[in-house]
Amino acid sequence: MTASTVALAPGPVTGPGVGAPAEILTPTLRELTDRAARADYDRWLSSTASAGGCRRPVQLRGEVHDLDARTGEILTSFHTGPEPDGVIYKACGDRRASVCPACAETYRRDAYQLIRAGMAGGKGDVPESVAAHPCVFATFTAPSFGLVHTRRANPAGRILRCRPRRIPEYCPHGCELRCRRIHKDGEACLGKPLCPDCYDYNAAVVWNAHAPELWRRTMIGLRRRLDRIAKAHSTEVKVSYAKVAEFQTRGMVHFHALIRLDGHDRHDPAAIVDPPPCVTAQDLAEGIRAVAGFTWFATVGHPARPDGWTIGWGAQLDVRTVSRAPAGEVTDGHVASYLAKYATKSTETVGGVPGRITLANLHHHANPRSHHGRLIRAAWHLGGHDHDDFKALRRWAHMLGFRGHFITKSRRYSVTFKLLRTARADWRRRRHRTAEHTDEETTLVVGLLSYAGSGWRTTGDALLALTAAAKAREHDRTAREEITTTA
């Protein structure tokens, strides 16, 4: 048993070398030996493979039947009763790497396939011709709500001083608005305001809450602009996108978006066709820059701000054309990997919490002496208003006000998570289907399963299951490397 293996286990279970008292390990060793000594150990270990290394799998109890769809005859039946624990295990499916790394990795791979299919095609109804469509990668950021410590770099990549000033300046609260340090990557002060009392926390959480609406209006403006260009050439175009939200260290969300230009077929509006040559990737990039500059709206009034807050994009906007050439500055593979990576993150960069905040734990998380705590405090305070725009702030206080999905796409852009997951489930079902019942079109699967609990039965079970899953992943990785090397 290694320290890394023990660290994978849920709860406070660790061992010598990772900071745990020796007495904690004794019950765990007993659980390990008790499970390994059972006659059905191999069968139990095989059943845990369905959880795929999940930290907190769902336990299901019941039965599953394969029926002949034409006659209703039961072909095969499976009951959880004879299983070693009387249940089967299913992965929790959480997308957050901080909660369950194994499930988050599965989610990341699905996100990669979903995003890449919109650029390369070949999956579902997405034709391979989309690879030639104009496509740009854009990053939309939030405006400034106060001076914060940051890492700046010049065009050559050299890291500059945080906020150098020849003459010292002070805010009304007496804090110096200058920082001559060159911060290291991951330094604790990054993203923290130079003066917390000057930082507009109310406006920050309100902006996070309305960022999805700002994105929607931006896409409307972009479509209208491109429609005018296309109409001048007596043609029509469509805009498709996939975007991922990421939290900056200052606690503000920003969007990485892959935006693709398609043509429009009046006879089949749902079809993905080539765009007209008169509308180019340059038109798409210029349209994004122009629309991001003038898209804004005002929220409804709040007692803290009767005139409402202005919601608009920040000055930092990065727009790059995506190329399929291997030597391109931004390739489709790079973009898909980049977006999929951030799809599994949440508010970890600012010390976020995975669960919702309630009155019972508000005092613990809304610490007025921390930047993250002040953001939560502002969301909770503003969420006391009756209007729906603000009432949801309390529910999403743990997300610093942001209430959108971390990865979204337009309907036409690509395939769906459901299609990818259904294909994976079908492959597994075919893999375990018996030779005498291989006709999938006439077989109906009926599951009568109920929830029986969450997590592994004991810490020892968790260690054994997670270790076996880790070894299986290492075996698969080695096999893929060997195939790549010999190909």
Final residue of a structural domain among 374, 409, 444:
409
Number of domains in the chain: 2
Partner residues linked to 302 by β-bridges: 305
What is the rounded average pLDDT of the residues 209-220? 96
Is 231 in the same domain as 276? yes
Range of the domain at 78: 3-85+435-482
411-439 confidence digits (pLDDT tens): 989 999 998 888 888 887 776 655 445 55
Q: Can you give the pTM of this predicted structure?
A: 0.83
Yes or no: say if 401 and 205 are a contact pair by the CB < 8 Å rule: yes
Residue among 380, 455, 345, 340 at smallest CA distance from 58: 455
424 in any annotated domain: no
pLDDT at residue 157 tops 70: yes
70 in any annotated domain: yes
Residue among 28, 27, 76 at smallest CA distance from 439: 76
Cα angle 323, 329, 334; round to 5: 70
Helix, coil or strand: residue 37: helix
Helix crossing, 371-382 with 201-232: angle to 10°? 80
Partner residues linked to 153 by β-bridges: 159
pLDDT at residue 329 tops 70: no
pLDDT at 354: 66
CB-neighbour burial class of residue 480 (10 A; exposed 0-12, middle 13-18, buried 19+): exposed
12 vs 274 pLDDT, higher one: 274
What is the rounded average pLDDT of the residues 202-212? 95
Question: In Å, how far are 111, 216, 436 from 420, measured between CA atoms?
Answer: 10, 26, 27
State the Cα–Cα distance between residues 283 and 96, nearest whole angstrom.
Answer: 36
Is 217 in the same domain as 311? yes
406 vs 1 pLDDT, higher one: 406
Is 79 in the same domain as 112? no
Is 109 in the same domain as 31? no
341 in any annotated domain: yes
Yes or no: say if 113 and 409 are a contact pair by the CB < 8 Å rule: no
State the Cα–Cα distance between residues 444 and 447, nearest whole angstrom.
Answer: 10
Is 138 in the same domain as 229? yes
- What is the average pLDDT value for the chain, to the nearest integer? 85
pLDDT at residue 19 tops 80: no
425 in any annotated domain: no
182 in any annotated domain: no
pLDDT at residue 237 tops 60: yes
pLDDT at 225: 95
Is 402 in the same domain as 448? no
Percent of the chain with pLDDT over 70: 89
116 in any annotated domain: yes
Is 38 in the same domain as 122? no
Is 474 in the same domain as 350? no
**Torsional sign, CA 350, 351, 356, 358:** negative
Six token digits for residue 140: 């939309």
pLDDT at residue 333 tops 80: no
State the Cα–Cα distance between residues 102 and 110, nearest whole angstrom.
Answer: 13
Is 315 in the same domain as 381? yes
Helix, coil or strand: residue 456: coil
Is 73 in the same domain as 114? no
State the Cα–Cα distance between residues 347 and 108, nearest whole angstrom.
Answer: 17
The residue length of the chain stands at 487
